[in-house]
């Protein structure tokens, strides 16, 4: 359609002078250039990113782009000329560490060419394509209510979704080891389910399944025992020739003073954003920190952190705060002194690289030894008997080597020693050779032997409805005396770090404790990033959430700091009720020692009870009231079994938070009560439990 303007209007719009005409041309040209930007001009250079790539990001130094990694495990083994794959499924990192250690030893002792494989990196069905000339080892952990680790999800679904007749693995020859805790109801369920499905599919299991039980800290020894059996299979069944093992590092750690300071990783958290359940890591300011325990022998801190300046940080009631700890200065100093490094040398740049190809280095590099010991390695971690035995190869004297050998020849001798002594790597070096320097001990050994620092999870004890831009946590300050000597203690790294932060904020130095050396921390953080009482943290999403409907009844059961999420639940329900929203009935069972010592949030909870007009009831359980008077939360649940069962049948949601032993006993009480009051048999009771948990009406947030 053509629009024709009236003659008088057209005459008015026409340029009247040469200046008008030039202006119109200029406007037209400018508009055209703007619209054609990035098409006809100012086109981005497709090779601009190459200016910022490091040579190490090329394959073989040829300059060709890195090929996309295959997700076919059979293809991967053929491409890399490997004959053994060690799959790991790990939630806390232990299975991954075991897989790496085992791969290295299989290569050194038996000449195998192993590949350690994250189960999430490969398509599960390609396991069925493995040739019968290959071997497979599965090292998998079980956590929670018999759940697989996050990186095992796709493999787990494949095993369950593929009908048994359709899953055929006749060429698969495998061995398996599981990590679990017998305090949990479904002890090592994951490895049992996996091996059962593999066997039904025709796979050949070459030895009995090994299982670790962490209930008494026996995971390491269980692994060593299973590994001995595995190596017997290598020798006797597979007829592999064994070689004498000598230390062969899989990484190199070298000083390189040519590295620019700005390139160094000096303690900033190395947080992987591949985990969508975690927010970005931020430096959060501690706004307040208060002591909750009245007893001088116990400490529990209520700490609040400001997230107002971090727009990308959000949390919901029931989520976790993930805290990145700093190692205590005294442990760092002990280790540095043992290997002969002063503070100046510990600040020199280090480059960490794989000896030959291999997986991506998980330790940030370049860095410094000071940053490694303070921020990236768990220098306070217990030391395995195997690691101590290996230290003998680098002993500075025959006496030191003999001392280490005497400790590690028998697992019972080593267990007895660790029960009497606080054993870290720095301390064992000092004990073995008190006045000597371990000059022959390579840095690569230290970096390989000491596990990476693990961030710690704390249940958030504030409500996102009440304080959306402030997060609260409830932290018990751990200090465990050794059974045989109360003057020797093992202090929790993160909880004592938080305690030190609290003391700094409140400008109150910690009280002197006879016979103990209080830990010191570098609170300013790397490059002063934590100045002003800050810590590195992120938010981890949780399924431990309130029901969508605020009218849903709640049963909350916790002991000690297990009250943390329930404080948040109560705060949120009280706020919703105050603005006219419906609120369901709430029972809170809370266990502690004595009401006058460690009844956490007592006054606050009393105020909430008053404001809820009978909808909230607190049922305390005191385990240290007097001689012979010990009442635990499971006892109070049993006393109120009729009320609890009636609420559960009336669609109540039940939450349990605290130590796994407590959760297990509470679960047994609830199970027996429902069975008895409803006249169910065992099968009906099991079905009810499974259905209730599947509907997220029975949720647990438990630890150790």
Q: Quick check: 697 and 653 in contact, CB under 8 A? A: yes
Q: What is the pLDDT of residue 510?
A: 56
Least confident of 46-50, 239-243, 486-490: 46-50
Residue 533 has pLDDT above 70, yes or no: yes
Residue ranges, CATH 3.40.50.80, the chain? 554-702
Segments of the chain assigned to CATH 1.20.990.10 = 253-266+326-449
Percent of the chain with pLDDT over 90: 71
For residues 586 and 700, give the distance between their C-alpha atoms in angstroms, rounded to a whole number: 17
Tell me the C-alpha to C-alpha distance, in Å, between residue 672 and each of 40, 653, 667, 676. 77, 18, 9, 6
pLDDT of residue 562: 96
Half-sphere exposure of 405 (CA within 13 A, CB side): 10
Residues 553-572: tens digit of each pLDDT? 999 999 999 999 999 999 99
pLDDT number for residue 473: 98
Q: What is the average pLDDT across 36-58?
A: 43
Tens-place pLDDT, residues 684-701? 999 999 999 999 999 999
**Tokens 């961030």 — which residue?**
455
Q: Does domain 554-702 have CATH number 3.10.310.40?
A: no
Q: Looking at residue 92, what is its pLDDT?
A: 79
> 204: number of CA atoms within 13 Å, CB side?
11
Q: What is the pLDDT of residue 177?
A: 98
Average pLDDT over residues 478-492: 73
pLDDT at 64 over 50: no
pLDDT for 513: 47
Element spanning 674, H or E? helix 660-678
Average pLDDT over residues 3-26: 55
Identify the pLDDT of residue 663. Answer: 93
What CATH architecture is 253-266+326-449?
A: Up-down Bundle (1.20)
DSSP class of 201: T
Q: Which residues contact 87 (CB under 8 A, 6 or more apart)?
A: 99, 117, 119, 136, 137, 138, 139, 140, 155
643 pLDDT more than 70: yes
pLDDT score for 53: 39
Over range 287-296, report the average pLDDT: 90
Q: What are the tens digits of pLDDT across the range 170-224?
A: 999 999 999 998 888 788 999 999 999 999 999 999 999 999 998 877 899 999 9
Confidence check: pLDDT of 34 > 60:
no
Say how far apart CA 525 and CA 533 lie, in whole Å: 10
For residues 584-591, average pLDDT: 97
Looking at the chain, the domain(s) classified CATH 3.40.50.360 span: 73-237
Determine if the pTM surpasses 0.85: no
Q: Nearest-CA neighbor of 616 among 558, 564, 573? A: 573
With a CB cutoff of 8 Å and minimum separation 6, the contacts of 393 are 246, 247
Looking at residue 1, its pLDDT comes to 47
How many other C-beta atoms can be found within 10 angstroms of the C-beta atom of residue 150? Answer: 13
Residue 148 has pLDDT above 60, yes or no: yes
Reported as a single tens digit per residue, the pLDDT across 444-453 is 999 999 999 9
Look at domain 73-237 and name its CATH class: alpha beta
Query: Which residues does residue 283 pair with via DSSP β-bridges, in sequence order?
Result: 536
Is the model's pLDDT at 72 over the cut of 50? yes
Choose the most confident range, by mean pLDDT, from 8-12, 52-56, 264-268: 264-268
Region 282-291 average pLDDT: 96
Report pLDDT for 16: 61
- Average per-residue pLDDT for the chain: 87
Residue 377 has pLDDT above 80, yes or no: yes
pLDDT number for residue 185: 77
pLDDT over 70, % of the chain: 86
Q: Band of the pLDDT at 277, cuts 50, 70, 90?
A: confident
pLDDT, average across residues 598-615: 95
Number of alpha carbons in the 13 Å side-chain half-sphere of residue 249: 17
């Amino acid at each position: 359609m053509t629009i024709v303007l009236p003659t008088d209007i057209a005459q008015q719009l026409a340029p009247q002078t040469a200046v008008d005409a030039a202006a119109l041309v200029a406007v037209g040209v400018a508009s055209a250039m703007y619209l054609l930007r990035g098409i006809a001009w100012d086109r981005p250079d497709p090779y601009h990113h190459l200016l910022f790539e490091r040579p190490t990001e090329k394959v073989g130094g040829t300059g060709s782009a890195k090929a996309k990694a295959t997700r076919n495990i059979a293809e991967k083994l053929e491409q890399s000329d490997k004959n053994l794959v060690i799959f790991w499924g790990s939630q806390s990192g232990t299975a991954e560490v075991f897989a790496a250690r085992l791969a290295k030893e299989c290569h050194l002792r038996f000449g195998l060419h192993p590949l350690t494989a994250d189960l999430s990196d490969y398509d599960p069905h390609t396991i069925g394509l493995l040739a019968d000339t290959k071997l497979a080892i599965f090292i998998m952990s079980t956590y929670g209510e018999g759940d697989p680790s996050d990186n095992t999800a796709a493999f787990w679904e494949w095993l369950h979704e593929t009908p048994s007749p359709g899953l055929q693995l006749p060429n698969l020859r495998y061995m398996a080891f599981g990590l679990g805790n017998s305090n949990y109801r479904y002890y090592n369920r994951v490895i049992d389910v996996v091996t059962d499905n593999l066997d039904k599919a025709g796979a050949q299991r070459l030895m009995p399944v090994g299982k670790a039980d962490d209930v008494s800290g026996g995971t390491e020894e269980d692994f060593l025992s299973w590994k001995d059996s595995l190596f017997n299979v290598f020798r006797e069944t597979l007829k592999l020739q064994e070689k004498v093992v000598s230390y062969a590092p899989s990484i190199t750690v070298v000083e390189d003073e040519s590295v620019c300071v700005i390139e160094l990783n000096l303690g900033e958290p190395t947080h992987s954003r591949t985990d969508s359940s975690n927010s970005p890591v931020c430096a959060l300011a501690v706004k307040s920190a208060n002591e909750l325990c009245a007893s001088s022998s116990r400490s529990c801190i209520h700490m609040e952190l400001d997230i107002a300046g971090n727009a990308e940080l959000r949390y919901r009631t029931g989520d976790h705060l993930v805290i990145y700890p700093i190692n205590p200065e005294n442990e760092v100093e002990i280790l540095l002194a043992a290997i002969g490094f002063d503070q100046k040398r510990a600040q020199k740049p280090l480059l960490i690289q794989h000896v030959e190809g291999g997986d991506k280095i998980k330790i940030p590099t370049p860095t410094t030894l000071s940053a490694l010991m303070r921020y990236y390695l768990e220098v306070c971690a217990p030391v395995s008997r195997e690691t101590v035995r290996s230290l003998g190869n680098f002993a500075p004297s025959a006496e030191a080597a003999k001392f280490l050998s005497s400790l590690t020849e028998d697992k019972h001798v080593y267990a007895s020693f660790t029960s009497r002594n606080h054993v870290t790597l720095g301390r064992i070096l000092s004990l073995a050779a008190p006045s000597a320097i371990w000059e022959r001990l390579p840095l690569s050994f230290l970096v390989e032997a000491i596990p990476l620092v693990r961030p710690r999870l704390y249940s958030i004890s504030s409500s996102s409805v009440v304080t959306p831009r402030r997060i609260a946590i409830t932290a018990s300050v751990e200090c465990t005396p050794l059974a045989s000597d109360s003057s020797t203690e093992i202090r929790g790294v993160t909880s004592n770090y938080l305690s030190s932060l609290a003391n700094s904020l409140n400008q109150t130095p910690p009280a002197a404790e006879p016979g103990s050396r209080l830990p010191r921390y570098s609170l300013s953080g790397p490059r002063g990033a934590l100045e002003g009482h800050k810590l590195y943290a992120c938010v981890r999403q949780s399924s431990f959430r309130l029901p969508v409907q605020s009218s849903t009844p709640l049963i909350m059961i916790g002991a000690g700091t297990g009250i943390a999420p329930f404080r948040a639940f109560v705060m949120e329900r009280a706020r919703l009720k105050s603005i006219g929203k419906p609120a369901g009935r709430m029972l809170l069972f809370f266990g502690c020692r004595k009401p006058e010592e460690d009844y956490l949030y007592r006054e606050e909870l009393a105020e909430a009870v008053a404001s809820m007009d009978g909808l909230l009831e607190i049922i305390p359980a005191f385990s240290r009231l007097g001689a012979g008077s010990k009442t635990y939360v499971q006892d109070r649940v049993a006393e109120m079994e009729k009320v609890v069962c009636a609420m559960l049948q009336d669609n109540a949601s039940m939450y349990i938070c605290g130590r796994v032993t407590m959760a297990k006993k509470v679960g047994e009480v609830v199970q027996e009560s429902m069975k008895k009051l409803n006249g169910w048999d065992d099968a009906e009771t099991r079905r009810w439990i499974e259905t209730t948990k599947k509907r997220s009406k029975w949720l647990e947030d438990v630890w150790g």
